[in-house]
A and B are shown apart, each in its own frame.
Chain A
Amino acid sequence: MLFYHFGKYILLLKSVFKKPEKFSIYQEEIFREMVDIGLGSLGIISIISVFIGAVTTVQTAFQLVSDLIPKSVIGGITRDSTILELSPTICSLVLAGKIGSSIASQIGTMRVTEQIDALEIMGINAPGYLILPKVTAGIIMVPMLVIVSIFLSITGGYLAGTASGAVTAAEFVQGLTTNFNPFTVTIAMVKAVTFAIIITTVSAYQGFYTDGGALEVGQASTKAVVISCIAILAADYIIAQLLL
């Protein structure tokens, strides 16, 4: 069963990446999706990022009870855990819920109302037209959102740390700026791109093969979120294993 779906998924991807009929139309769609995915998710990503950073700082400070360890370490830990894990992964899980469900229900609705059949009758490669712009927009926008998230998360950590008195501003900044390894940012970007591909293609697959009516569209959208989340966490582990 798993293999059957995986095979069907790969075949769908094959038709997604066929040469577009007309590039200008795809371009227009990509920009529309970029606004949808990028701007549309900026608000929620900003809010959760500030809290991620704040919580990380406060909890790290709580765990560092020893006087032997300088308080500046808090800044470093917040920075690294945000860049390496929290920003890319938590943002992607939230985006799986937001973008994933909307992609699955949008494509699923088009399937059950015969709009996909209408595309095919016109001689249009429906997987390409419907899915490629979403995947492209995701690959561009999710890393950008993750970068925004990293900055806001560290800012949130700074604010929470200094406000609670757990760490002084100078210590926090000193921690941020020492021992910075730029490779962690590369890993964050690799994760962001991988997760973007997972969210958009898994949800598109669920929507594209919806069969039935409104009820099944709802189920497809739930499945899209669940499977995307599991796949994201599995991929997260694999990337960490391979690159660290």
Chain B
Amino acid sequence: MIDITDIRKSFGDNQVLKGISATFKPGVSTLIIGGSGSGKTTLMKCMVGLHQPDSGMVTYDGRDFTSLSFDERIDIRKEIGMLFQSSALFDSMCVEKNILFPLNMFSDMSKAEKKDRVNFVLERVNLAGKNKLFPAELSGGMKKRVGIARAIAMNPKYLFCDEPNSGLDPKTSILIDELIQEITAENNITTIVVTHDMNSVMGIGEHIIFLHQGQKWWEGSNQQITSTNNKELNEFVFATKLMETLLKK
């Protein structure tokens, strides 16, 4: 479980997060939605410590994260897996080396065990046999999936995914959503997914947080999201031509 209380963050005069509090439960993927530039990535980076929030607190299962130094954070970081918006695979390493990297650094597994783990996670993201390809040889969707494989290689307790399905076709993006949800449920992971994809919202949106103007504007589930009369949320939800057409019918 992750708790955040009153997170605030500004870049210069640009106040991006204006006091956000929320609770993220294990075994559930919480979706953070909001327009482009609404601060979703910034919030996520504040939570994992890539940005230092100006004020506020982040706790991982009761362990206060914000006040720790870099060295003290390492124990919690080993329990975090993160998929970046840009995948952030290591260019100089092949797929297998990318996934092996955290294992080599931190686990005491034998060579064979590590190899098995790599093959297991690759199979999990439907990329079995692609071990020796380099990031430059992968499509955007494949990179995302390798990113997920690397994020789950260490069996994380907390999984952060920044736009796991941006730039993917609807079918692949549903596969990735389902994959994230399955992994979350199977391993009781506390998962946080940043997205602005309404397909994901309707598909896996058990718990949704809508960010608007640096604040938590709305919180609920995908059951509730279509029936709320929150104006800004409705504008966000029904912004697509597809929705418009469906609504007219």
For the A-B complex, the count of residue pairs with Cβ-Cβ distances under 8 Å equals 52
Q: Does B84 contact A (CB under 8 A)?
A: yes
The CA-CA distance from A22 to B107 in the complex, in Å, is 10
Give the contacting residue for B91; candidates A25, A115, A117, A123; CB below 8 A: A115
Residues of chain A within 8 A of B77, CB atoms compared: 120-123
One digit per residue, 1 when the CB lies within 8 angstroms of any chain B CB and 0 when it does not, for chain A 18-29 equals: 000110010000
1/0 contact trace for A85-110 toward B, CB 8 Å? 00000000000000000000000011
Establish whether residues B104 and A22, one from each chain, have CB atoms under 8 Å apart when the complex forms.
yes
> In the bound complex, do residue A117 and residue B105 qualify as a contact, i.e. CB atoms below 8 Å apart?
no
User: Would you give the 0/1 interface string for A177-191, flagging 1 where the beta carbon is closer than 8 Å to chain B?
Assistant: 000000000000000
Q: Chain B contacts of A110 at CB under 8 A?
A: 90-91
Report the interface size class on chain A.
10 to 19
Q: Is the CB of B86 within 8 A of A121?
A: no
Q: Which residues of B contact A21 (CB under 8 A)?
A: 105-106
Is B130 engaged at the interface, CB distance under 8 Å to the other chain? no
Is B101 on the interface with A (CB-CB < 8 A)? Answer: yes
Contact with B along A48-71 (1 / 0, CB 8 A): 000000000000000000000000
- Which chain B residues border A42 with CB–CB below 8 Å? none
By a CB distance below 8 angstroms, the chain A residues around B48 are 121
Query: How does the 8 Å CB contact mask read for B91-112 relative to A, with 1 for contact and 0 for none?
Result: 1000000000110111000000
Residues of A within 8 A of B49 (CB): 120
* Alpha-carbon distance A115/B90, docked complex (angstroms): 6
B102–A117 touching, CB < 8 Å: no
Instruction: Decide if B80 is an interface residue (CB 8 Å cutoff).
Output: yes
- Tell me the minimal C-beta distance from A34 to chain B in angstroms: 16
Judged by a CB distance under 8 angstroms, whether A118 is at the interface is yes
- B22 interface residue (CB < 8 Å to A): no
> Nearest chain-A residue to B92 (Cβ)?
A106
- Which A residues lie within 8 Å of B50 (CB)? 117, 120-121
Q: Are B104 and A25 in contact (CB under 8 A)?
A: yes
Contact A118 B106 (CB under 8 A): no
**Contact A118 B105, beta carbon cutoff 8 Å:** no
Q: Are B105 and A113 in contact (CB under 8 A)?
A: no
Q: Which of B37-89 contact A (CB under 8 A)?
A: 45, 48-50, 70, 73-75, 77-78, 80, 82, 84-86, 88-89
Which of A25, A109, A115, A121 makes the CB contact (< 8 A) with B80?
A121
The reply to whether A115 and B88 contact each other, CB–CB distance below 8 Å, is yes
Contact B82 A118 (CB under 8 A): yes
Min CB–CB distance A67 → chain B (angstroms): 61
Give A112's nearest chain B residue, CB to CB: B86
Bound Cα distance A118, B148 (Å): 12
Residue of A22, A25, A114, A124 near B88 (CB, 8 A) is A114
Q: Known interface pairs A123-B74, A123-B77. Does A117 touch B104 (Cβ–Cβ under 8 Å)?
A: no
Q: List 11 A-B contacts (CB under 8 A).
A: A22-B104, A110-B91, A113-B86, A115-B88, A115-B89, A118-B88, A120-B49, A121-B80, A122-B106, A123-B78, A125-B70
